Structure 1
Amino acid sequence: MKKNSIHYIISSLISGVAGFLIISILTKEFDPISYGDYSLVITTVALLNTVLISWITQSLIRMYNNQKDKSELNILLNTSLISLFCMWMFFLIIIITMNLIIETQRFIIPIIILFVGESLFLYSSSLFRALNKAKIYNIIVCSSWILKLVFIVSFIKFNIDDILIITIALAVPNILIGLIVVTILLFESKESKWFSSSAFKEIYRYGIPLVGLSSMQWIMSSSDRYILKLFNKDVELGVYSLAYSISSNIYNVFITFLLLISYPIILRSYEEGKSSLNATRSIKEQFNYFLLILLPITFGLSILSDEAILIISSPSYSSGTVILILTNLSMLIFGTLFYINKVWELTKNTREIFLNSIFAALINVLLTFILVPFFGGTGAAISTLLGYFFFLIISYVRSRKIIRLEIDYFTSMKIIICSLAMGIIVFVGKSFIENNLFHVMLLIAVGCLVYIILLKIFGLFNLITEFIKK
């Protein structure tokens, strides 16, 4: 587990750094209106992957360990791959029909190419997660992000000034990596049955409810971009997209890393005698690690929101400070939801997560339509925060009827105090530094040192050592 964790740390860090560099390059080269168009393409592709592909990949990860021999595994892999190809065909039919009805040529080609690339890569990376081959997973994730960065820089060096064409640079590495993985898979499983209706039914039965959940989460996190566009808030769309990208890139690196480590531990605890008590203890322990890492990030990034936006982008995006702070809080709640929803996932009752998310998504969309005309991007950020907060409350209350989750309030309060004290130090330190990368990084280092010392004083340093050991 420790060896796998190291690989996941490396891939998370490299993807996070590369993601930031890409955001920085694009927002320094393009104005908020252009970046807003880019954001709409990325958001649309994310929705397509959520609806058409995620049910296949999530089922693959969950069902792999249930296969008794290599033959069954190959049948599962072949069936999932055929399902992927069918979703591509379905997508092409939809996109061609849309093109005949409305004029969308400028967005169509980037969306098609990016969707194929992202879905191929999502399938490939999920395959290696299912196989528990963290080293290969690490290699393909790092290779993908490094190549994306190289391609984007190359496109800009050739003076390509259409940001939608540049999105193709994001797809090329993933298409290359995905084709290699799929070719190897086809070669190794060529003698196995190509499609199994029973395997497909099992993939469908487990995965489809999660599609509903993922779609609702997409609505809560991304639909506001379309609403901003609908109300002709083009500049605010670009500013909002940047602020959201900064926050989500940071949080997703850590959330993904923590979930990759914690989910197998929680699942194993539950399956040992199907004990809800074991699962509750495991979730509580893993959630402490989550707070230990994400709370200081929330305080620190919110306090340094001005500096973050100006260093990463250009002054034309400087109005996104409040949006960034609100998005940080949304992402903290978003990460918390994964631990609460583990109750439904462990009992294979993912339909309940979907029902919870429907109510939260409806509230979010309604509030967005009300607030955006008056407050623009800030209104969209407020509606997202309130939507996630409602999702958190309803999920926690309803989950207690199945498994009564325990929260270590004493430990949580000590982590909050340490994070708040660190935040005060960083806030005071801002007045003594210049707004450049070196000084901000130096202040962040001081903040981390102060936080570690405070953890030691409050007797929480053992959480770090326990986490490293695991």
Structure 2
Amino acid sequence: MDRYKKLASNTFIFAIGTFSSKLLVFLMLPLYTRVLSSSEYGKLDLIVQTCNILIPIVSAGILNAVIRFGLDNSTNKKSVFSIGLMINLLGVIGLIVFMPLLKRIDFISEYIMYVYLFILMSSLHSLCSNFTRSQEYIRLYALDGVLRTALTIALNIIFLVVFKYGIAGYLLATIISDLISAIMLFTVAKLYNYVSLNYIDKTTFKNMLKYSIPLIPTTISIWIISMSDRYILSYILGSGANGLYAIAYKVPTIITIVAGIFMDAWQISAIDEYQKGDKGWFFSRVLNVYSSLLFCGASVIVAFTKLITRLLASPEFYITWSYIPVLVMATLFASLATFLASIYMMHKKSEYVFTTTTISAIINIILNLHLIPKYGIQGATIATLISYICMFMIRAINTRKFMTVSWNIPKIILNIFIIMIQTIIILLEIDNWFVYEIILVSVIALINAKDLLMGARRIIK
């Protein structure tokens, strides 16, 4: 299959699974904001994000290595999955030792058993899901997304609306859906055929750990960028402020989801082209189309921020619209930086992902400590934006060591400038602001039309 058609086909299939597993759950936001108060939602957000940072630590980052080495034609697949499963299980068992420490954290203590089960089931599901994707069982991966979504939505309605379990109900719904999905993948993909201690070789074991261990602090740094502002907000302004910020962050998640769908498919194509000896031209062409999609998407979301917030959130949370435009810009730069990180992944240079992410995390913490006391929630959004801009610029320069990327710099600057103007217009609520927003969205569409049409033409051909 032609490389462009393969990328487009995989993206479409991943979209089915990811759209259902992430976007439809995202659309459950009206339910969450109606059954949980801003304080409860803020507390739930801290619990889930704490679990998300513990998962890569517990698994020694091996979940990322399972994808990279599973896609590598030179590695034994049984060895890759068996190593991943062994490290994952040992890490989860080892977590028991630290449970008393976690129980001392106020917002976790009441839900300690749910936290442990959340980490266990999420890590096992991620292992099965990542290995399934690395073996290019794309349709099964998409089916898993649909199944997991249906389960999550149904269980959320049962536990939150019918039984009114609150925070515990949300966590329980996620735990059960992860468990059932993991069992389905393990059975249908016959992953039990890949489990064997006899196939664990020392070379693959060392190489996988060498690749995955630098990604642990990388994940922590990413978590710091997205979460340090929430902890500082909670400490200075209370969990209610964090609840508002967490809701505001949900809208830019639309961009993250779309970018994530593409990145799932891109990982397969990028490594495939790297193994064939691609020197960067295919990467550059895909980057131009990818960035054009991001700019168009960001422009539309900024323009319709108020409408989206009114539709998705209860009146109590409507004020969050004013934080969304800056977070949209932050997510835009984060998505571009993530795409550049695929260059490090291709060359198995995960240490550079760690370095660039850590620098951005440090910048984020410093800015949060200075801006949140002065500007409140908006200070957190500005800190996040600046930290992601720094990450993108550092990677854009640093990745030249490994691959020459052709950037259309004037187009990128113009796109960013227009979206900045959109952000200023809507935040200041200038007279006839919506008319100006629609005009600027149209301008963004015209600027990026050529790259989008060329991308579509390559796929059709």
Which stretch has the larger CA shift, 399-408 or 82-91?
399-408
* C-alpha spacing 1:222/1:79, structure 2 compared with 1 (3 Å): same
Question: 1: distance between equivalents of 2:402 and 2:434?
Answer: 50
* C-alpha spacing 1:452/1:326, structure 2 compared with 1 (3 Å): closer
Describe the superposition over 1:446-466 as per-residue Cα deviations: whole angstroms up to 9, x where unpaired. 999x6898479x644533423
Describe the superposition over 1:169-220 as per-residue Cα deviations: whole angstroms up to 9, x where unpaired. 1221111121343467564246662644433212101111122222211111
- Report deviation, 1:410: 5.9
- The answer as to 2:66 corresponding to 1:86 is no
CA contact (8 A) 1:251 1:331 kept: yes
Aligned to 1:17: 23
- The answer as to 2:216 corresponding to 1:211 is yes
Question: 2: distance between equivalents of 1:46 and 1:467?
Answer: 38
Aligned to 1:52: 58
Q: How many residues align?
A: 449
Question: 2: distance between equivalents of 1:417 and 1:365?
Answer: 26
Question: 2: distance between equivalents of 1:131 and 1:380?
Answer: 40
Question: 1: distance between equivalents of 2:30 and 2:458?
Answer: 32
Amino acid paired to 2:45:
S
Aligned to 2:238: 233
Aligned to 1:312: 312
Which stretch has the larger CA shift, 235-244 or 164-173?
164-173
Question: 2: distance between equivalents of 1:353 and 1:101?
Answer: 30
In the alignment, structure 2 segments of 5+ residues that lack a partner are 1-5
In the alignment, structure 1 segments of 5+ residues that lack a partner are 433-442
- Report deviation, 1:349: 2.1
Question: 1: distance between equivalents of 2:138 and 2:409?
Answer: 34
Question: 2: distance between equivalents of 1:342 and 1:103?
Answer: 36
CA contact (8 A) 1:371 1:380 kept: yes
- Report deviation, 1:103: 8.8
Output aligned runs, 1:119-130, within 5 Å: 119-130=123-134
Which stretch has the larger CA shift, 299-308 or 258-267?
258-267
What SS does the aligned partner of 1:407 have?
coil
CA contact (8 A) 1:262 1:286 kept: no
CA contact (8 A) 1:295 1:415 kept: yes
What SS does the aligned partner of 1:388 have?
helix
- The answer as to 2:25 corresponding to 1:6 is no
Amino acid paired to 2:18:
S
Question: 2: distance between equivalents of 1:267 and 1:354?
Answer: 20
Aligned to 2:156: 152
What SS does the aligned partner of 1:403 have?
coil
Aligned to 1:438: none
- Report deviation, 1:35: 0.7
Question: 2: distance between equivalents of 1:421 and 1:399?
Answer: 30
* C-alpha spacing 1:461/1:157, structure 2 compared with 1 (3 Å): closer
Question: 1: distance between equivalents of 2:418 and 2:368?
Answer: 34
- Pick aligned residue for 1:132 from 132, 136, 147: 136
Question: 1: distance between equivalents of 2:263 and 2:272?
Answer: 14
Amino acid paired to 2:406:
E
- Report deviation, 1:153: 0.8
Question: 2: distance between equivalents of 1:393 and 1:420?
Answer: 17
- Pick aligned residue for 2:206 from 201, 207, 212: 201
Describe the superposition over 1:134-162 as per-residue Cα deviations: whole angstroms up to 9, x where unpaired. 00000111111121011001113324152
* C-alpha spacing 1:262/1:241, structure 2 compared with 1 (3 Å): same
Describe the superposition over 1:65-99 as per-residue Cα deviations: whole angstroms up to 9, x where unpaired. 43558xx3223211211111011112222123433
Amino acid paired to 1:234:
S
Describe the superposition over 1:26-71 as per-residue Cα deviations: whole angstroms up to 9, x where unpaired. 01222211110111111111111233337212111111243558xx
Aligned to 2:345: 345
Question: 2: distance between equivalents of 1:68 and 1:399?
Answer: 25
* C-alpha spacing 1:180/1:208, structure 2 compared with 1 (3 Å): same
CA contact (8 A) 2:295 2:444 kept: no
What SS does the aligned partner of 2:136 have?
coil
CA contact (8 A) 2:160 2:166 kept: no
* C-alpha spacing 1:222/1:141, structure 2 compared with 1 (3 Å): same
Aligned to 1:302: 302
Give aligned-pair identity as a percent.
18
CA contact (8 A) 1:289 1:467 kept: no
Question: 1: distance between equivalents of 2:14 and 2:156?
Answer: 25
Which stretch has the larger CA shift, 119-128 or 58-67?
58-67
Question: 2: distance between equivalents of 1:135 and 1:55?
Answer: 25
- Report deviation, 1:241: 0.2
- Report deviation, 1:391: 1.5
* C-alpha spacing 1:453/1:31, structure 2 compared with 1 (3 Å): closer
* C-alpha spacing 1:291/1:103, structure 2 compared with 1 (3 Å): closer
Amino acid paired to 2:294:
L
Question: 1: distance between equivalents of 2:78 and 2:272?
Answer: 24
Question: 2: distance between equivalents of 1:288 and 1:368?
Answer: 32
CA contact (8 A) 1:74 1:192 kept: no
- Report deviation, 1:331: 0.6
* C-alpha spacing 1:304/1:68, structure 2 compared with 1 (3 Å): closer
CA contact (8 A) 2:372 2:379 kept: yes
Question: 2: distance between equivalents of 1:68 and 1:314?
Answer: 52
Which stretch has the larger CA shift, 174-183 or 297-306?
174-183
Which stretch has the larger CA shift, 232-241 or 415-424?
415-424
Question: 2: distance between equivalents of 1:62 and 1:118?
Answer: 19
Aligned to 1:408: 408
What SS does the aligned partner of 2:264 have?
helix
RMSD: 3.3
What SS does the aligned partner of 2:405 have?
coil
Output aligned runs, 1:348-427, within 5 Å: 348-409=348-409, 412=412
Question: 2: distance between equivalents of 1:49 and 1:200?
Answer: 20
Give the structure-1-normalised TM-score.
0.85
Aligned to 1:326: 326
Aligned to 1:436: none
CA contact (8 A) 2:148 2:177 kept: yes
Question: 1: distance between equivalents of 2:152 and 2:234?
Answer: 27
Amino acid paired to 2:147:
S
Question: 1: distance between equivalents of 2:24 and 2:107?
Answer: 34
CA contact (8 A) 2:371 2:383 kept: yes
